[in-house]
Structures are given as C-alpha cells and as structure tokens.
Amino acid sequence: GDGCGHVVMYQDSGTLASRNYPGTYPNYTVCEKKIQVPQGKRLILKIGDLDIESQKCESSYLTILSSSMLHGPYCGNVMPVPKEIILDSNEATIHFESGSHVSGRGFLLSYASSDHPDLITCLERGNHHTKAEYSRYCPAGCRDVAGDISGNIIEGYRDTSLLCKSAVHAGVVADELGGQISVTQHKGISRYEGVVANGVASQEGSLSDKRFIFTSNGCNKSLSLEEGFLSKSQITASSYWEETNEFGQQFLWSPDKAWLQVPGLAWASNHSSSREWLEIDLGEKKRITGIRITGSGSTMLNFDFYVKTFIMNYRNNNSKWRPYKGILSNEEKVFQGNSNAGDIVRNNFIPPIVARYVRVIPQSWNQRIALKLELIGCRVVQGNSSFTHSMWQRPSQSTEASLGKEDQTVTEPIPSEESNLGLTLTAIIVPVLILVCLFLFCGICIYAALRKRETKGLSYGLSNAQKSGCWKQIKQPFTRHQSTEFTISYNNEKETPQKLDLIMSDMAEYQQPLM
C-alpha cells in the first residue's frame, strides 16, 4: 500500500514523511516519490528524522536514487545517516519500504534547490540556534508537521517552538511555497499567548530563557488605528440584524459595530446566506497583508455567533469585484475563521491585496453570521513592490502560469502620491497650452481673411471702372451654338413626369453669359 504520509512538493522545495509520522508506520508498505528542482540546479536533501526498525536494512529501509548514484539504504544503526545530502543532479527518487515491525516513526526529510544552501527541516527549533541573529530557508510543507509552538508574531515565540511552523503562523512564509526567514533572539518572557493564525494553533507557554522574533518589512500595522477609526460611511453590509429582546429593547448589530477596537456588539447579518458580505472602503488603495476576526464576543452570554470560514473579494475604483485566490491555484481561497465566539483569529494574505475596497464573505458559521474585524497592512509606497520582502517572493514563470490574471494585478506596484501630483499638473497645463494655440491660430485666420477682403474690394473697383471699354474689346473665345435640347414628355397633363431626356452640349459649360 501507499506508505507515503505528509507530502508537500513545490518547484523549489518540499517536505516528505512516512505514513502516520511521527506515529508508527504501517507494516508491508512502500512509498516512492520523485522529487526535482529547476533544471540547472542541484538538489539538496536534509533528513530531519529517521527511525526504521531494521538492523540490516533487509525488509525496511530508505534509499535516495539520483542519476549518478544510490544513497543508502538507511535504517536502524547499520550506518550513520547523513544530515545533509547534496546531489549532482536536479532530481532524485525517494524510496521507503517496510516489512513486519513493532515500532518506528519512519522518516521525515526536506529538500530544496542549490539556491538555498541554508535549508533547514521542519523539525528545527529556535533553541537549536545560538546566534543572536540568523537567516534560514524553510521548505514548503511545514505547517502540518507535528510539533508545538508557543507565542505570536508581536511578542515572539518561545525558543522551544518549531521555527518553520512558527514562520507560517506569523505569516512570514506561505506553507505552499516555503521561504527565507530572518530571526532575532531575545530574552524570554514569563508567559506566551496561544492564538490561531494561518491555520496553525499556537499553545500557551510558560517562562523560557529565550524567545525568537521574525523581522518583517513593517507592513503589519492596524489600518483602522493608523488612519483613525473609519466613519460609518466607510463600512457597509448586505444586511444587519435588528434584535428585540424579551423586554422590548432593540439592539442594532449594524456594520459600524464591526471594528475590533470598538467594544460591544458585533456586526450580524439579518439572513443566513453565503451571499452576505461586509464591505470596507479604505478611502484609497492600501497594501493589505492580513485580517484579524472574532465572533459575537465572550461577554455575550446569550449568543454564540461566529464565522467558521470566509472568502475575500476586492476591487479598486471603476473595476469589478475579484476573488482572492490561492497563490498556487486558480481557485478562490477559503480562509479558516473562528472556532468560538471570543478568540481572535489572524490570516495573512500572501501575496498581499492592493485595493481600496474589500469584502469579507462568510461561507460557514455558527448559529448566525456575526464578526468583528481588523485589517492589517500599510500605505502604498512607490517602488515598494509586494514581492520585495522574502515573505512575498514572486513564484517563477512556471508558477505564474497557474496564477490568475487577477492575482497578478493584486501585487502590482502602485504609483505614489508624487506621481499622481505630476499627472494632475500635466492634466491642467496641457489643455491651457492647447487653448492658447487655438486663440493664436484663430487670430491669424481672421487677419488673413481681412487682408483678402481688402484686396478683393480694390480689384472690384478697378473692374467696374474699365468695364465699358475693355470688356467690349475682348473677343469671346467661344461661339454660342444651338441651345441644349430638353425633351420632357408626359402621358397626359395630370400625370407626373415619367421621362426626362437631358442632352447637354459639350461646350455648354464654357459658354459666356449673354450680354
């Protein structure tokens, strides 16, 4: 049977594990996968863990076959297992086979291209590193690997946390792609918060000697706090619930209640439908890198409203609504929301959304659609492409082919306010210059017409003065012939003409008028 377990493979990196890892792998099973990186690159493999119950590698083992040689078999304690294998080719076949056994976790390995010599596996933790600052490359596929993390992106993570899983939780890398991480170590704190972010749940943690924090590009500020609380006109909804309690009191769960920083009620829709939406107008294009949402709140004891999953739409001025799609697929991305009414859940957008208008569209919920939210991001700055930071590495051309055109427009750099000012000045100056040119042209035309009129008047006077003498002396160059013959016939006097024969003399048009 299929002995492969967790497998995530991307063109630059990936992660493979045996079935049930880190539990016991099945008896009599085979896992065989071909892995490769782009042509012209060398393949780097790192074995994070290998625990195969076989002393002589007869029935259970792991091998790595490249075009030039076979690495392995690896099992038990027969031979030391290398932590890193660098192949001369860009592809290899991973083969794992098991026979009858009692225990054994199997294997977990990661790979990347030779562009990333600082590759680590999904199992490395913060306390495996001693430097105050360091940078490493996380492979794709570390989100669902077993192992605890404690902390959050703001205060940092307990040093016992898995590095790459924490990076996915922090929104520093996308699990589908992997990516470079930059880490700084700090003195530990007494307590680490447990929160859900990007599909990963961190656990509460106790005092530790050290903690690590991911460095970011700074585009992770609260857009509502940065700009001041947005007015009611800037947040709208498809509908909202007007609640009347048992005492006849009315409460409005209106869209202006949706801001996370505003205490009290949340926004709740009046209908239970996947077509309900909450829309935010940011006033101008912003780079939106994440969203934090919660439900009706833990203080609302009578209600347990929250959104379980949702999708995002976005648009700019005079454009259509577009769905936010997965980075490696053409399907709209479904984000994981809340599992209770009180906790705050964060999701990051990799790549970020660059838009003025965004909509949150709930897809599943508990009891009633209700949420409070906060958008995370920054202002758009010229030249600040969304892919300049390692967490937003642009996929290669082969990957871009799978991205929808909409996704590519999400991440295009937006002109700054200075360039907009230049365009505005140009729009004013050019029409003024055109008007000036038109006035000059009209003046020249009028002047020329007046001059021509004066000249005509002079020649006309001379003609009249000489007409009696000169005109008679001029011989007419043409003689007058028989006039043109017209034949117009009617069947009777009352009928309209039925036939018109018109025969013109060749010289008629040159005849002089009769004197």
110 and 226 assigned to the same domain = no
Where residue 72 sits, what CATH number does that domain have? 2.60.120.290
Q: Between residues 266 and 301, which one has the greater pLDDT?
A: 266
Model confidence pLDDT, tens digit, residues 321-353:
999 998 888 899 999 999 999 999 999 999 999
291 and 409 assigned to the same domain = yes
97 and 237 assigned to the same domain = no
Structural domain contains residue 111:
yes
Rounded to the nearest 5 percent, the helix, strand and coil shares of the chain are: 20, 35, 45
Structural domain contains residue 344:
yes
244 and 386 assigned to the same domain = yes
Structural domain contains residue 326:
yes
3-state secondary structure of 90: coil
- pLDDT value at position 107? 95
228 and 346 assigned to the same domain = yes
Structural domain contains residue 23:
yes
- Are the C-beta atoms of residues 332 and 311 closer than 8 Å to each other? yes
End residue of a domain, out of 63, 87, 115: 115
Structural domain contains residue 20:
yes
Highest mean pLDDT among 91-105, 287-301, 440-454: 91-105
End residue of a domain, out of 419, 438, 472: 419
- Are the C-beta atoms of residues 353 and 406 closer than 8 Å to each other? no
d(CA 318, CA 312): 18
Structural domain contains residue 268:
yes
DSSP string, 301-314: TT---EEEEEEEEE
End residue of a domain, out of 85, 115, 145: 115
Number of domains in the chain: 2
What residues have CB less than 8 Å from 250, skipping those under 6 apart?
242, 243, 244
Model confidence pLDDT, tens digit, residues 351-360:
999 999 999 9
- pLDDT value at position 371? 97
Domain with 314, as residue range(s), is 222-419
Where residue 360 sits, what CATH number does that domain have? 2.60.120.260
Supply the pTM of this predicted model: 0.74
d(CA 183, CA 176): 21
Structural domain contains residue 356:
yes
Structural domain contains residue 94:
yes
415 and 282 assigned to the same domain = yes
Model confidence pLDDT, tens digit, residues 465-502:
343 443 333 344 333 333 333 333 333 333 333 333 33
